[in-house]
Amino acid sequence: MTGKKLLNAKILPALLLMFIFPAIHIAQNVTVSAKLDSTLMVIGGQMDFTIEISQPDNIQLAFPNISDTITKNIEVVRESRPDTTHLDNQRLAITKRYRITSFDSGLHYIPPLRFEYMEGELARRAETQSSALLVVNPFTEVDPSKGFFDIKLPFNLPFLLSELWRFKYWILSILIIGLLAYFGYYFYKKREIPVKEIFFPTKPKEPPHIMALKSLDKIKSEKLWQSGQVKSYYSQLTDTLRRYMEDRYNFPAMEQTTGEIMSALKYQELPDKNLFHKMETVLSTADLAKFAKYEPLPDENDNCLISAYFFVNQTKEEPVPTREALEKELKEASSEDKQEERD
């Protein structure tokens, strides 16, 4: 009997140590902790609830499911992604933060959070320590039985010069910069050499028909179609006519098609109806030559240039005589009358 008791006294502690040491190894294998930035928070305020994990790098740890709330009185505003750091001893340090808030005053208890993982074929778990958060309400509670009150007027606090003392360096810097800018501008203006303004007389723009006739004379002298440059000939010819019509009749002929130009010419007071048909023939022939590989006959080329001259000369706007020109004309007429009376 005594031998059995002695055997039991030796075996039982050994068995207990076999079960205790694996538990200690497991507890030391994965460690998790949770902490608050502070144990005190004003109602409606925010702070971080941080979870820190230390584990081997070959273990997959399952986080607890925390969505909108940690407890019924503590809400999650947002959560950050886990921040993982690889340590030298084949371990991982993981940090995850939850931004929390609470709108219920009082002492709130945060229970331990449970993390599960597999170690070999055994399911293990690790838990954080519990936490407590005291939420205080510094505001006066409203008593609905007292009815409604008007908004309080703002307080008129007296202004103290001592309040500006903390900005003394900023004020001094602004004053120095202002003085330097003032004296710099003053000496610059004092030494500035006055520059006399020089006015160059602008050359008056020539009338549209003068510019068009000069351009037609240039086209005629270059003899483009005679040297085989038919497309260039008609391009310059139509550009001259388009620019003339745009300046003379004030519509965007340079940007319009032949059909649009002819529609616009219908509303103009042309001195001769044949001018409309001549212009339509010139523009249509030019379109065929430029875009349809049409080769006009020599007579057609000459007739288009003659029609362009005729159109410009027939539609040109006579310049309005100036006062100086009228006075000069009257003086010349008066001197001629006096000369006739003497004769």
Q: What would the pLDDT profile of 68-118 be if each residue is shown by its tens digit? A: 999 999 999 999 999 999 988 889 999 999 999 999 999 999 999 999 988
pLDDT at 274: 87
pLDDT in tens, 317-338: 876 666 676 677 777 766 766 6
Residue 34 in contact with residue 128, Cβ under 8 Å? yes
| pLDDT > 80? residue 277 | yes
| pLDDT class of 16 with cuts at 50, 70, 90 | very low
Instruction: Report, as an integer, the average pLDDT of 40-44.
Output: 94
Instruction: Report, as an integer, the average pLDDT of 36-65.
Output: 92
Tokens 């006096």 locate to: 338
Cα separation, 300 vs 270, in Å, equals 23
| pLDDT > 50? residue 24 | no
Least confident of 211-215, 222-226, 289-293, 300-304: 289-293
Long-range residue pairs from 233-236, CB within 8 A, at least 24 positions apart, any chain? 233/301, 234/285, 234/286, 234/289, 234/290, 234/304, 235/286, 235/290
Q: Angle between the 230-249 and 258-265 helix axes, to the nearest 10 degrees? A: 30
126: tokens are: 């690790």
pLDDT in tens, 301-322: 999 999 999 999 999 887 666 6
Q: Angle between the 274-291 and 230-249 helix axes, to the nearest 10 degrees? A: 140
In the chain, alpha helices (H)? 2-29, 168-191, 208-222, 230-249, 258-265, 274-291, 298-315, 323-342
Instruction: Return mean pLDDT, the chain.
Output: 82
What's the chain's length in residues? 343
Dihedral angle, C-alpha 238, 241, 243, 245, nearest 10 °: -140
Strand order in the sheet with 131-136: 40-42, 131-136, 106-110
Cα separation, 133 vs 72, in Å, equals 13
248: tokens are: 């003379």
pLDDT in tens, 262-275: 999 988 888 888 88
pTM for the model: 0.39
| pLDDT > 50? residue 22 | no
pLDDT at 17: 40
Please classify residue 216 by burial: count the beta carbons closer than 10 Å to its beta carbon, then call 0-12 exposed, 13-18 middle and 19+ buried: buried
Q: How many CB atoms lie within 10 A of CB 239?
A: 15
> Which residue segments constitute the domains of the chain, with CATH numbers given?
23-136 (2.60.40.10), 208-315 (no CATH)
Tokens 């002695």 locate to: 6
The helices-and-strands tally (H runs, E runs) of the chain is 8, 12
Give the residue from 284, 341, 336, 334 showing the smallest Cα distance to 307. 284
Residue 94 in contact with residue 86, Cβ under 8 Å? no
pLDDT in tens, 282-302: 999 999 998 888 899 999 999
* Whole-number Cα distances in Å, 259 to 102, 115, 212, 280: 76, 82, 22, 9
